[in-house]
Amino acid sequence: MSLALIAALPFLGALLPGLMIRAGRTACAMATGSATALALIGLLLHAPAVLRGEVVQARFDWMPGLGLNANFFLDGLGLLFAGLILGIGLLIILYARFYLAKTDPMGQFYTYLMLFQGAMVGIVLSDNILLLLIFWELTSLSSFLLIGYWKHLPEGRQGARMALAVTGTGGLAMIAGMLILGGIVGSYDLSVILTQKEAIQASDWYLPALILILLGAFTKSAQFPFHFWLPHAMAAPTPVSAYLHSATMVKAGLFLMARMWPVLAGTDAWFYIVATTGLVTMVMAAKIALFKDDLKALLAFSTVSHLGLITMLLGFGTAEAAAVAVFHIINHATFKAALFMSAGIIDHEAHTRDIKRLGGLRTLMPITFTIVTLAALSMAGIPPLNGFLSKEMMLEEATHTVWAGIPWLFAVLATIGAMFSVAYSFRLIGHVFLGPVRDDYPHKPHDPGFGLWAAPAALAVLVVLIGVAPMTMVGDLVTVVAGAVTGGDVTIKISHWHGLVPALWMSVAAVGAGLILFGAHLRLDALWLAAPRPEAKAIFDALVDGIAALSHGVTARLHDGALSRYFVIFTLGVLGAGWLAWSEGGHVPGLRNVLPIPGVALAGWLLLAVCSVLVAVLHRERLLALVVIGVVGLIVSVGFIYLSAPDLALTQISVEVVTIVLMLLALNFLPKTTPRESSTARRLRDIAVAGAAGLSTAALALALMMRDFAFPTISDYHLANSYSGGGGTNVVNVILVDFRGYDTFGEIIVLGIAGLLIFALAEALLRGAANKRLLEWVPELPKSGDRHPLMMVVAGRVALPITLMVGVYIFLRGHNEPGGGFIAGLIVAIALVTQFMASGFAWTQARQRVDYHAFIGFGVVIAAATGLGSWLAARPFLTSNFGYFRIPPFDKFELATAALFDLGVFLTVIGAVMLTLASLSRIAIRAGETVNTTAMDNDPSQPAPAKGGH
Amino acid sequence: MIEMALIFAFACFGLGLLMNLWRVTVAPGVPDRVLALDTMVINAIALLVLYGIWQGTAIYFEAALLFAMTGFISTVAYARYMLRGDIIE
């Protein structure tokens, strides 16, 4: 199975739960699980090859220009993590089926879970660091959804927000670090980067890149001082805690450190940052865990501690330590996921997770007791379980490590960490299961059904099996993974007995001291509760509040809602940049000659200039301003003709008409004047800024036109290829429907959305508070004259077929002569608008039973289908084709797919314009306007003229 | 000969445009300005046709046609707005 498919399967599987939940909860879980199982099988099919030392690859170019390719590769490390993610994922799906209550929306849960699973698999299989970053961010987002799954719980929402803030910030830092790394190497492919150790470590940018990448890894893996989000994320349902916060997501940071180990590790900076952070995290979190009463909080801090342990091992920078880290990742995933699920079972059965309220569950829940005992003993590092093996090897590595000239520091602190680990593990067993049976449980506990304990039991079996026969179970895997992490050959030997080495005595000391701590827990707990300690959540909240207040303040100053202020700031910025470029860059006058100015062109220029100024002067009288804008539009249209752009002119002419009509429709319900809001001084400032900007633009345009192009323009390409490539002699149209067809496609979609949006807004207006105002609306202008004058009705009717004919003509000839779908759509819309104006909205609407929403939809669909059609010919989206045909007795004619695309444009334009018009007219009807039933005021064809026809 | 006539016509219609501009700028009311705009459209149509003759091409005639066909719609809309408020009743 292709690696890309393995990574895609969970995402595809995320579609299933929403559908299958209708078939019941079991069917939903099975459908979800089958996607994961399929991916797992696909992965395991690659396992033999990977265990032989091969690297499986799958490569697709996605955006090669950005260096972003969908490249996947599978080596030992990827196999281990993908196996953990999919294998434990499968168990979690089973567990969640029985854990979630009937009232919890299970389909939603599984969808989030599968999204998360896909993102995780993506991270561990990516061979491109940009792709990896995308999946990395996806895990942050999907874990946010999962942690906040119980939306009604404030802790859940706050915990989700905190997790997103911390891991998201780290993710941002990591993006920067990865980009630096890619910049050093010159490639974003991991398989290339991993071979460039010397280049990376010799670079000046090594340290910034290292720190930024580690920030991402540390926040994700909850390393000190970013550890505080993990306990708060425990507000999530237990399956989420077991999956994200013990087995997978928090290990993403470890994965990244292991993945980057060959190129980043081995320097002093790596050792002091990573190993020290790991050590501090391990000891500190283990100590806190001992004093947590909430089962899940205890496990959360224990997880932080074990993550610290693994981080420390990776930080040592030796191949042996990295191998131990790999081994402990496996062991921790098995025993910790089992413990989390068991904690969920206890919570589920006893209705509390508070250790102080539990105790004596041994006889009531014997199965859970067995599972927890095995897993917790492994966590404590008691032989022969798997936790013992990796802990022993960790202590061994710690004794070899010297920190800043102090040879004993790591050994002593690691032993202390192990001691706390023993103490809280025994507390978990002792205070929850041992002791007398109590009679004040919130709910009488008993063992759950098989479905709930099957998953943790399977993991507990693994704990024992790996513990008893480590080399048989995972020897090969650890060897291959360690080889992948270190980029060299590593020989692994895992055994229970190493002789009377220091690590053995440290282990014995840790167990002994841990038992003493456990025995003295009651007194220590009192001390702990009495001592003041920083509350991470309060600090975090204060920090977030402070930052939010700061950004709110900045935003309020810069973004105060005054458009004129934005314009001033923006314009001054552009002016400043332009001035800087002009004064720094030097200026050579252009060499072209100024052409003579014909008299008529001068007159047109005068009209344009005077009316533009007039709009600014008259803009408070809105109707007047509209009239003057009409002049500007007219001159612009004529100007297009004069400057040899007939297509633009045709478009502009029709756009002007539609604009004026729509503006007048809207103006009816708007204030007729604009109030004066700013002081004279401010207006003078604005005039100065605007004038400077206008003059600068004019100077710039002049400077540009006075010289030849510095580079060959794209116009030459278009001119040369329009007929041969697009089959049309009208270059503008060929650009629109062929060369830049994608743009046009996007534009008609935007146009359609705009039309629908205006409809929706008008609809909301009619339902909302404005409705009352509309119902009480009194027309501001006195009504006079004929409502539907006969002359206008007749003229409009006569013009209708002619205008439609012209529309069709403009449409058909568009490919070779000025015209096209857009202009034709506007012309047809104008013809229809004329009928509306002549005979009124209701009368006309009753006579054209077309749904303009559907017009928009058909238009977009036709354009899209034309584009997709080129796929059938195995060509890229929107590749056009054309041919010449002859049907006697007609002349030879051309058929082009581009014309079909243009039809889509045509329909969308009509739909959008007419829908906007209908939306605005509906407002008028609501405002108490009567509806006409006859075409005109005095209809000579009717025997009895109905006056007014209201 | 035709050139002389064209130049004369250009001058006349150009002058016409400037007079329209005067009416748009200085006028007793909105209706005068709307009429000035409407006349401007007529003058523009004339100029387009003249320009086509001058250049010896028919390619600008569609623009003139479109102006003639749709230019009056804006005028009607302005008029309806001033008379009735709502242009589509």
Query: B46: nearest CA in chain A?
Result: A638
Give dist(CA B39, CA A400) in Å, integer. 97
Tell me which residue in A599, A600, A607 faces B21 most closely, judged by beta carbons.
A607
CB contact under 8 A, B84 and A837: no
Query: B83: nearest CA in chain A?
Result: A784
CB contact under 8 A, B82 and A781: yes
CB contact under 8 A, A637 and B87: no
Tens-place pLDDT, residues A1-16: 788 889 999 999 998 8
Chain B nearest C-alpha distance from A28 (Å): 55
Contacts of A611 in chain B (CB under 8 A): 21, 24
Contacts of A614 in chain B (CB under 8 A): 24-25
Contacts of B63 in chain A (CB under 8 A): 637, 641, 646, 649-650, 653, 818
Residue A565 lies in a domain: yes
Give dist(CA A851, CA A864) in Å, integer. 20
Q: Both A869 and A933 in a single domain?
A: yes
Angle at A242 between CA A239 and CA A244, to 5 degrees: 95
Higher pLDDT, A96 or B86: A96
Higher pLDDT, A367 or A245: A367
The CB density around residue A887, as the number of other CB atoms within 10 Å, is 8
Tell me which residue in A641, A660, A799 faces B48 most closely, judged by beta carbons.
A641
Give dist(CA A310, CA A327) in Å, integer. 9
Contacts of A932 in chain B (CB under 8 A): 89
Tell me which residue in A653, A668, A785 faces B66 most closely, judged by beta carbons.
A653
Query: A788: nearest CA in chain B?
Result: B89
Contacts of A628 in chain B (CB under 8 A): 24, 33
Chain A nearest C-alpha distance from B10 (Å): 7
Distances (CA, A) of A542 to A181, A229, A288, A535, A630: 34, 15, 22, 11, 57
Query: B22: nearest CA in chain A?
Result: A607
The CB density around residue A260, as the number of other CB atoms within 10 Å, is 26
Comparing CA positions, the residue from A6, A93, A950 lying closest to residue A454 is A93
Chain A nearest C-alpha distance from B19 (Å): 10
Chain A nearest C-alpha distance from B38 (Å): 9
Tally the domains of chain A: 2
Tell me how far the alpha carbon of residue A289 is from its chain's centroid.
Answer: 35
Span A701-711, average pLDDT? 86
Beta partners for residue A69, in sequence order: A61
A949 pLDDT tier (thresholds 50, 70, 90): very low
- Which DSSP helix (H) or strand (E) runs through A421? helix A409-432
Give dist(CA A634, CA A642) in Å, integer. 12
Give dist(CA A37, CA A13) in Å, integer. 10
Residue B78 lies in a domain: yes
Q: Both A674 and A738 in a single domain?
A: no
Distances (CA, A) of A353 to A46, A101, A368, A416, A438: 41, 17, 14, 27, 15
Chain A nearest C-alpha distance from B1 (Å): 19
Residue to mutate among A602, A627, A656, with most B CBs inside 10 A, is: A627
Comparing CA positions, the residue from A289, A303, A142, A297 lying closest to residue A235 is A297
CATH of the domain at B69: 1.10.287
CB contact under 8 A, B83 and A784: yes
Q: Both A609 and A748 in a single domain?
A: no
3-state secondary structure at position A103:
coil
Q: Both A809 and A940 in a single domain?
A: yes
Tens-place pLDDT, residues A755-784: 999 999 888 888 877 777 777 777 766 677
Tell me which residue in A630, A784, A932 faces B89 most closely, judged by beta carbons.
A932
Rounded percentage of chain B residues whose pLDDT exceeds 90: 63
Chain B nearest C-alpha distance from A631 (Å): 6
Distances (CA, A) of A818 to A649, A727, A822, B41: 9, 15, 11, 21
Asked if the model's pLDDT at residue B11 lies above 90, the reply is yes
Asked if the model's pLDDT at residue A488 lies above 90, the reply is no
Q: What is the pLDDT of residue A950?
A: 44
Which distant-in-sequence residues (6+ apart) come within 8 Å of B11 by Cβ? A599, A600
Decide the pairing of beta strands A56-63 and A68-74.
Answer: antiparallel
3-state secondary structure at position A97:
helix
Per-position b or e across A128-153, b if 16+ CB within 10 A of its CB: bbbbbbbbbbbbbbbbbbbbbbbeee
Comparing CA positions, the residue from A331, A326, A295, A597 lying closest to residue A483 is A326
CB contact under 8 A, A806 and B66: yes
Of A24-33, A392-401, A453-462, A821-830, give the lowest mean pLDDT range: A392-401
Residue A425 lies in a domain: no
Higher pLDDT, A813 or A247: A813
Give dist(CA A645, CA A637) in Å, integer. 9
Q: Both A633 and A744 in a single domain?
A: no
Contacts of B38 in chain A (CB under 8 A): none
Of A38-42, A448-452, A552-556, give the lowest mean pLDDT range: A448-452
Contacts of B17 in chain A (CB under 8 A): 600, 603-604, 607
Residue A847 lies in a domain: yes
Residue B89 lies in a domain: no
DSSP-assigned letter for residue A408 = S
Contacts of B15 in chain A (CB under 8 A): 603
Residue B47 lies in a domain: yes
Give dist(CA A36, CA A32) in Å, integer. 7
Helix extents (H) in A619-728: 622-642, 646-667, 680-705, 714-726
Span A203-218, average pLDDT? 92
Q: What is the pLDDT of residue A370?
A: 92
CB contact under 8 A, B78 and A627: yes
Give dist(CA A43, CA A1) in Å, integer. 7
Query: Which of A 305-334 lie inside 8 A of B, CB atoms?
Result: none
Burial degree of A580 (CB within 10 A; 0-12, 13-18, 19+): exposed
Would you state the structure tokens that stand for residue A790, as one six-digit string? 């006969």
CB contact under 8 A, B84 and A656: no
Span A517-530, average pLDDT? 81
**Model-level pTM?**
0.68
Q: Both A674 and A764 in a single domain?
A: no
Asked if the model's pLDDT at residue A238 lies above 90, the reply is no
- Whether complex ipTM tops 0.95: yes
Query: Which of A 255-294 lie inside 8 A of B, CB atoms?
Result: none
3-state secondary structure at position A227:
coil
Q: Both A787 and A919 in a single domain?
A: yes
Q: What is the pLDDT of residue B59?
A: 85
Chain B nearest C-alpha distance from A597 (Å): 14
R_g (Cα) of chain A, nearest Å = 37
Average pLDDT, chain A: 87
Q: Both A681 and A782 in a single domain?
A: no
Query: Which of A 166-225 lie inside 8 A of B, CB atoms?
Result: none
CB contact under 8 A, A661 and B74: yes
Q: What is the pLDDT of residue A827?
A: 94
Tens-place pLDDT, residues A876-926: 776 777 777 777 777 777 777 788 888 999 999 999 999 998 888 888 777
Asked if the model's pLDDT at residue A122 lies above 60, the reply is yes
Residue to mutate among A614, A618, A623, A634, with most B CBs inside 10 A, is: A634
Q: What is the DSSP string of A931-945?
A: ---SSSSS-TTSSS-
Residue A914 lies in a domain: yes
Q: What is the pLDDT of residue A409?
A: 86
Angle at A17 between CA A78 and CA A296, to 5 degrees: 65
Handedness of CA A377, A378, A379, A382 (dihedral sign): positive
Identify the domain containing residue A791 by its residue range.
729-950
Tell me which residue in A627, A661, A819 faces B37 most closely, judged by beta carbons.
A627
Q: Give me the total of CB pairs closer than 8 Å, taking one residue from chain A and one from chain B.
A: 163
- Peptide bond preceding A10: is omega within 30 degrees of 0, i.e. cis? no
Would you state the structure tokens that stand for residue A606, as one six-digit string? 């005068």
Contacts of A630 in chain B (CB under 8 A): 37, 74
Would you state the structure tokens that stand for residue A34, as one six-digit string? 């089958």
- Peptide bond preceding A779: is omega within 30 degrees of 0, i.e. cis? no
Asked if the model's pLDDT at residue A131 lies above 70, the reply is yes
Residue A693 lies in a domain: yes
Phi, psi of A410 (to 5 degrees): -65, -45
Give dist(CA A854, CA A856) in Å, integer. 5
Contacts of A648 in chain B (CB under 8 A): none
CB contact under 8 A, A841 and B41: no
Give dist(CA A193, CA A303) in Å, integer. 31
Residue A434 lies in a domain: no
Residue A111 lies in a domain: no
Decide the pairing of beta strands A893-896 and A68-74.
Answer: unpaired
Helix extents (H) in A197-291: 197-202, 206-220, 229-232, 238-242, 249-264, 268-270, 276-290
Query: Which of A 788-817 lie inside 8 A of B, CB atoms?
Result: 788, 792, 799, 802-803, 806, 810, 817
Q: What is the pLDDT of residue A638?
A: 94
* Residue A639 contacts B where some CB pair is shorter than 8 Å: no
Asked if the model's pLDDT at residue A948 lies above 50, the reply is no
Query: B24: nearest CA in chain A?
Result: A628
Tens-place pLDDT, residues A539-577: 888 998 999 999 999 988 877 888 888 888 899 999 999
CB contact under 8 A, A614 and B24: yes
Residue A86 lies in a domain: no
Where are any strands of DSSP class E within A815-943?
Answer: 882-885, 893-896
Q: Both A733 and A877 in a single domain?
A: yes
Q: Both A909 and A811 in a single domain?
A: yes
Span A338-354, average pLDDT? 88
Chain B nearest C-alpha distance from A644 (Å): 9
- Which DSSP helix (H) or strand (E) runs through A53? none
Q: Both A646 and A786 in a single domain?
A: no
- In the block, residue with structure tokens 């990516």: A126
Asked if the model's pLDDT at residue A269 lies above 80, the reply is yes
Rounded percentage of chain A residues whose pLDDT exceeds 70: 99
Tally the domains of chain B: 1
Tell me how far the alpha carbon of residue A568 is from its chain's centroid.
Answer: 33
Identify the domain containing residue B6 by its residue range.
2-84
* Residue A631 contacts B where some CB pair is shorter than 8 Å: yes
